[in-house]
Structure 1
Amino acid sequence: MGGLAICVFCASSSRIDGRFIELAEQAGAELARRGHTLVSGGAQVSCMGAIARAARAGGARTVGVIPRALVSVEISDEDNDELIVTPDMRSRKGEMDRRSDAFLVLPGGIGTLEELFEIWTARTLGMHEKPLVILDPYGVYDPLRELMVGLTEQGFARPRIFDAIGWTGSIPEAFDLLEGRQVALRPTAEDYAEAEP
């Protein structure tokens, strides 16, 4: 299966370790190899820029969506095949959502988390059925996963939240999940405390 528009949420911080830039580059190369289109935050900096450059180098089409206020801060990537400048962050997220068939989340900060939670919540509530996958080979989001398991145990969230997301450290597996070639597995007792059914 090919030809998906895959939205990637990732870091725009310039202070992160180089291994996260490499992860973005590898994900961009794999996205291109599989014949997909990249939808991203439209910036040249950090992981956002790295994934877009790698995707283009592999022949993929790239679409960047950036709010007007961040054009100079994140430095908009004018090499995108299409660059959309939105009035604000909310319209940016809406445009990225509208243009995407699936969502891939790389390690990132509060902006990445905001994007992740909005898409994850909407999928859990049945507002869309677009695949959502976290790619985290370095365990950045392990505390988040533990938190979410704890919230289910305490009744604040239902265990089905884990049916709405894939979680992997493998780039090929992440894209297999996005393409629907594998079924996402919820955390087990071996990894974290078992969520009550």
Structure 2
Amino acid sequence: MSNIRSVCVYCGSAGTVAQGYKDAAHQLGTALAAEGLRLVYGGGRVGLMGIVADAALAGGGEVIGIIPEHIQRFEVDHSGLTELHVVDTMHVRKAMMAEQADAFIILPGGIGTLDEAFEIITWRQLELHDKPVVICNVDGFWDPLIALLDHLQATGFMRKPNLPGASKQLYTIVDSVAQVLPTLLSQPAPARPLKKARL
């Protein structure tokens, strides 16, 4: 039985992206609220970030945003959240998001999303946490990333994350938002809290 109560979503803040990515963000926010799962995210009101937050709020969900002060000054923070935490640095933001979440979902995004995704997967490999990570490959968006990860494994620079019969996985890849929550909720629950990383 999963004890996941809070889910961190990494996704893009760009607004000029394909409608399919926007639809996926809306679908995920709606699903999180319907499942009674708290959303933790980067605190923005633009792009997929704003869409997933708005959808979760519209569904009666709890939404926690964490945004650095230097980004808040651009007036892109979401003013209607359950909680909005304004922090000093990006490092503190990412650490706080990781600490607040029981699992992680990676939607389409840019280099910021890649940064967050690689960090949380690396932390799992280093056993700083054992929380599930799901990469949602909406419309094949993450195909180049998946090819890169396969290349890293094939060349010996990264251990294979999903060995048959393994009880823990570095990450799981799904092709649609509809698969995300069933995949998350079927995975082994985290056995230990996130270790405090030195920032």
Same fold (TM over 0.5): yes
- Higher normalized contact order (CA 8 Å, seq sep 6+, divided by chain length): 2
- Runs of 4+ with >2 A deviation: 160-163
Q: C-alpha separation between the residues in 2 aligned to 1:88 and 1:45? A: 20
| 1:65-122 deviations in Å (ceiling 9; x for gaps) | 0000111336110100000001011111011011111000000000000000000011
Moved more, 123-132 or 159-168: 159-168
Q: C-alpha separation between the residues in 2 aligned to 1:3 and 1:54? A: 20
Q: Is the 8 A contact 1:44 1:74 kept in 2?
A: no
SS at match of 1:160: coil
Consecutive unaligned residues of structure 2, counting only runs of 5 or more, are 164-168, 189-199
Moved more, 53-62 or 1-10: 1-10
Question: TM-score, with normalisation over the residues of structure 2?
Answer: 0.86
Q: 2:13 is aligned with what amino acid?
A: S
Q: 1:165 is aligned with what amino acid?
A: Y
Displacement of 1:171: 1.9
Q: Is the 8 A contact 2:4 2:102 kept in 1?
A: no
Seen in structure 2, the aligned counterparts of structure 1 residues 73 and 16 have a Cα distance that, compared at 3 Å, is farther
Consecutive unaligned residues of structure 1, counting only runs of 5 or more, are 184-197
1:174 is the counterpart of 2:175: no
Task: Name the residue aligned to 1:122.
Answer: 123
Question: TM-score, with normalisation over the residues of structure 1?
Answer: 0.87
Percent identical: 38
SS at match of 1:123: helix
SS at match of 1:15: coil
Q: 2:158 is aligned with what amino acid?
A: A
Q: Is the 8 A contact 1:107 1:140 kept in 2?
A: yes
| 1:22-41 deviations in Å (ceiling 9; x for gaps) | 11000000111111000011
Q: 2:86 is aligned with what amino acid?
A: V
Seen in structure 2, the aligned counterparts of structure 1 residues 3 and 150 have a Cα distance that, compared at 3 Å, is closer
1:11-160 matches, cutoff 5 A: 11-73=12-74, 75-160=76-161
Seen in structure 2, the aligned counterparts of structure 1 residues 161 and 87 have a Cα distance that, compared at 3 Å, is farther
Displacement of 1:123: 0.7
Seen in structure 2, the aligned counterparts of structure 1 residues 182 and 100 have a Cα distance that, compared at 3 Å, is closer
Task: Name the residue aligned to 1:194.
Answer: none
Seen in structure 2, the aligned counterparts of structure 1 residues 52 and 117 have a Cα distance that, compared at 3 Å, is same
Displacement of 1:16: 1.3
Task: Name the residue aligned to 2:192.
Answer: none
Q: Is the 8 A contact 1:3 1:37 kept in 2?
A: no
Q: C-alpha separation between the residues in 2 aligned to 1:165 and 1:151? A: 14
In the comparison of the two structures, how many residue pairs are matched?
A: 182
Displacement of 1:2: 6.8
